Structure 1
């Protein structure tokens, strides 16, 4: 699951704390999109990608979510495309702002997919909570630094704005509220579900292809070593030996310490720039991403694909 290649270019002329200082000068309530963009695309692109991947696995461990994803067949039959589409659709608002036409189209696509199924609000709230809580905890454990208070508040505002556009009611107002929601929900709902295990296996098999030069068994065990016991149990995965878990996590902490010494990233890392996002080498049309359970309304013979940003 974890790939140590970090896209982007470093800038010798920029202070190491450039993005931290930039975010500190912004207002988390007013400028939450810009702050979150700086966090995801400049300051922590590698870490955020890893954290959100683990957030995805946590959602599988909720039987209702994992079972539905298995029944659609998308995460087991077209795993690469579904992974890429999810990342591209979720990225658009942070990269462009919620009111940009492409970001609005991405939100419509997300809502259109969800409306095809009877998904309860509590599952939507849980998934939203993982996007806020898991990255914060990842950076606490493995990042070159934790999120500042303003960056964390901006993340809360950002996902509250996304949730509002998805029509999710009763969204927590603070990070503490999101964390309590996620922890309590997992304590109540995490359980083994055969369909969820199939989805997790398919996703993990895809992520192992991101390292063609490394032994797949090594990468697979390393990935499981970063999962907590509750997640492993819910997915039915064996617990790696304690020494493997300790050494794997120590390696990530070492990476974080090394990252502190690197200069600031000058160029943003977009999802389309990631080498493991491979479905659209010639660009993509945001309105054609995702699934269309009732058929795609876009006239494919007359639309031209827009280039990926």
Structure 2
């Protein structure tokens, strides 16, 4: 599978709220998946996709082999702001530039980090699946509109290509298969681990420092975050569930935001992750080739981890 590299223009003059969707529907999700994902992430749903991808990464901490490894490196507990920034900037470099040039540099940097640690193919495959599944479900629940079938297919094809460049094996062909894999892996592997809980706690603490969250009490932001978690995720971290009324209020507030955004004018200028106030580690700019960690030797014992496989039958669900 290949992709044409075409950078979306600023598209000034688009007036209808659904004009971007009509533009996307004229593209081929099996060929133009990079451009479609650029339009989705930079123009159509920048805030929502950023939230959904952050939540996707958060889910991976509930898999003990992932959460424990991240805790042992210390990167997501002692330097959580930098790790948050590096992850977003590396992923955005691939999306912005495609699978050539700077995009290739970003993938190479990501692969260098991953290969320094004993990460099994199953955990990599599950993480890749969260990038496909979490935005789809987020938009279904809270977006100003859900993804179209074209957008879902383009998302699956984009992450299939990313996974191929990462050397991941057994990548699903469709977004439905990604969803089935995602759910089966969570059913089989979600469990409590002190390291995973420490990484989750550190991430939630960081979330409380982001504007406008930093203007609200920490306990309120923490409860709001736990309200958005499903029961299996909370149970894996041993988080208590907020009161039912607070969960309804929290989710309702996000749905209300989606209804309001539906009436906003179409975005004509791209919004990039690097321009968000949440990204604070590189006020003077950055070189994607220098992002992330540069561990030497064997940072954690390799015999601590084994490859994770899915033994649960994969059948589409919740899609």
Aligned to 2:310: none
Q: CA deviation at 1:118?
A: 1.4
Aligned to 1:149: 149
User: Cα deviations across residues 103-155 of structure 1 (Å, max 9, x unaligned)?
Assistant: 11100000000111111101110000000001000000000010000010000
Contact 1:11 1:264 in 2 (8 A): no
Contact 1:16 1:263 in 2 (8 A): yes
Aligned to 2:235: 233
Mark the runs of 5 or more structure 1 residues left unpaired by the alignment: 1-8, 296-309
Map 1:66-215 → 2, pairs under 5 A: 66-99=67-100, 101-210=101-210, 211-215=213-217
Aligned to 2:303: none
Rounded Cα–Cα distance in structure 1 between residues aligned with 2:264 and 2:252: 19
**SS of corresponding position for 2:214:** coil
Rounded Cα–Cα distance in structure 1 between residues aligned with 2:60 and 2:13: 39
Rounded Cα–Cα distance in structure 1 between residues aligned with 2:270 and 2:34: 14
Rounded Cα–Cα distance in structure 2 between residues aligned with 1:94 and 1:48: 13
Rounded Cα–Cα distance in structure 1 between residues aligned with 2:285 and 2:15: 31
Q: CA deviation at 1:27?
A: 0.5
Aligned to 1:15: 16
Q: CA deviation at 1:12?
A: 8.0
Aligned to 1:293: 295
Q: CA deviation at 1:18?
A: 2.1
Which piece of structure 1 moves more, 280-289 or 207-216?
207-216
User: Cα deviations across residues 54-93 of structure 1 (Å, max 9, x unaligned)?
Assistant: 1111100000000000000000010000000000001111
Mark the runs of 5 or more structure 2 residues left unpaired by the alignment: 1-9, 298-319
Aligned to 1:305: none
Aligned to 2:313: none
Rounded Cα–Cα distance in structure 2 between residues aligned with 1:270 and 1:278: 14
**TM-score in terms of structure 2 length:** 0.88
Using a 3 Å threshold, how does the CA distance of structure 1 residues 10 and 243 change in structure 2: closer, same or farther? Answer: farther
Rounded Cα–Cα distance in structure 1 between residues aligned with 2:11 and 2:105: 32
Q: Does 1:48 align with 2:11?
A: no
Q: CA deviation at 1:11?
A: 7.2
Rounded Cα–Cα distance in structure 2 between residues aligned with 1:294 and 1:109: 14
User: Cα deviations across residues 143-197 of structure 1 (Å, max 9, x unaligned)?
Assistant: 0010000010000000000000000011000111100000000000000000000
Rounded Cα–Cα distance in structure 1 between residues aligned with 2:126 and 2:77: 22
Instruction: Say how many residue pairs are matched.
Output: 286
Using a 3 Å threshold, how does the CA distance of structure 1 residues 13 and 153 change in structure 2: closer, same or farther? Answer: closer
**TM-score in terms of structure 1 length:** 0.90
Rounded Cα–Cα distance in structure 2 between residues aligned with 1:197 and 1:230: 14
Aligned to 1:298: none
Rounded Cα–Cα distance in structure 2 between residues aligned with 1:128 and 1:147: 18
Rounded Cα–Cα distance in structure 2 between residues aligned with 1:75 and 1:126: 19
User: Cα deviations across residues 212-233 of structure 1 (Å, max 9, x unaligned)?
Assistant: 2111111111111000000000
Contact 1:10 1:264 in 2 (8 A): no
Aligned to 2:63: 62
Which of 193, 197, 219 is the matching residue for 1:217? 219
Q: CA deviation at 1:14?
A: 2.0
Aligned to 2:262: 260
Q: Does 1:277 align with 2:279?
A: yes
